[in-house]
Amino acid sequence: MKRSLPSLIGHYLVLCAIGLICVFPFWWTFVTAISTEGNIFAFPPTFWPKAPAFDNFVEAFRVIPIWSFFKNSILITFWTVFWKLLLCSLAAYPLARMQFHGRKLVFGLILATMVMPSEVNFLVNFITVTKLSLVDSYTGVILPNIITAVSILLLKQAFEEVPQDLIDAARVDGAKEWTIFWRIVLPLIRPWLATVGILATVEAWNDYIWPFIVMSKPDEFPLSVGVLYLSGTYGSSTRVIAAGTVLTILPMLAVFLSTQRFFMRGMDGAVK
């Protein structure tokens, strides 16, 4: 259907407005981090850096062990994503492709957890982690985040899209259930795995409250928590805090932009 010009202009104006609202916080943080002069809280806010320099970034690197935090974040993110992909796939496959009593009930219970805000789980998770003596360990940070209903839901849908004939062909070829899962079905849902992986990476990288609750030794903080140090040390220097925040965001921005292709492909299937 061909749109009329006024309708097209209106359409783009709305899209531009939404885009600006989404981008503004990032841009403002970036401008604050890179500027060395001017009033941060001026209204209307400054949209262009004044006397741009990297002084705030240098200061952030000087005050806190950013490289160490960075390494900790990579470690936590890698293992969270690894276990999430493995365990959520293993949970989603039988829900999608196997017939057993209570299948719908199990899936319903998993979905029911989506209605609860994650903060509700903090208390229970903290008690569990404490009882398991996992406080102050990365396992304690990772464990509650490796199974999520959204990931299971996405992967279940992915498994359901694999044609039954392929599974039947593999069965006739002599493949047992694990071989079918590992060698036939899992490679076929790679775009979906990439989608879940990217979402999990961003989530794990940006996770702030839970690692802050579990970890107490500053040396072992991930980047998101470590940047908070700047707030303590440089309570008045919002520019240095903004520089630390930009450093936290940049890796995720790079990950998202470089993997956007897979991400969008995975999402294609989600709406078919």
Partner 1 sequence: MAALEIKNIVKHYDNGVPVIKGIDLEIADGEFMVFVGPSGCGKSTLLRMIAGLEQITGGELLIDGKLANNIPPSERGLAMVFQSYALYPHMSVHENMAFALKLAGKKRAEIDAAVQKAAQILQIEHLLQRKPKDLSGGQRQRVAIGRAIVRKPQLFLFDEPLSNLDASLRVQMRVELSRLHQELKTTMIYVTHDQVEAMTLGDRIVVFNGGHIEQVGTPLELYNRPGNMFVAGFLGSPKMNFLAAEVASGNAEQAELTLAGGTMLRAQVDASSLTAGGAATLGVRAEHVSVATAGAPNSVPATVGHVEHLGDVSIIYAQVEGVSEMLAVKAAGGAAYKAGDAIAILMPAEHCHVFDGTGKACRKL
Residues at the interface with partner 1 (CB under 8 A): 163, 165-166, 168-175, 179, 184, 187-188
- DSSP for residue 183: I
Smaller CB separation from partner 1, 29 or 179: 179
Smaller CB separation from partner 1, 22 or 172: 172
Helix locations, the chain, DSSP H? 5-34, 55-63, 66-97, 103-112, 118-131, 138-142, 149-160, 164-172, 177-179, 186-188, 190-206, 209-214, 223-226, 228-233, 238-270
Question: 49 with 37: CB under 8 angstroms?
Answer: no
Tokens describing residue 239: 């520019």
Measuring CA to CA, how many Å separate 169 from each of 26, 100, 164, 177, 180?
50, 22, 9, 12, 10
CB of 157 to partner 1, least distance (A): 18
CB of 55 to partner 1, least distance (A): 51
CB of 264 to partner 1, least distance (A): 19
CB of 180 to partner 1, least distance (A): 11
Tokens describing residue 138: 């990365």
Smaller CB separation from partner 1, 97 or 171: 171
Q: Which of 236, 254, 198 is nearest to 70 (CA)?
A: 254
CB of 189 to partner 1, least distance (A): 10
CB of 172 to partner 1, least distance (A): 5
- C-alpha to C-alpha distance for 162 and 176, rounded to whole angstroms: 17
Smaller CB separation from partner 1, 119 or 165: 165
Question: 231 with 15: CB under 8 angstroms?
Answer: no
Smaller CB separation from partner 1, 219 or 268: 268
CA of residue 118 relative to chain centroid, distance: 14
Smaller CB separation from partner 1, 6 or 163: 163
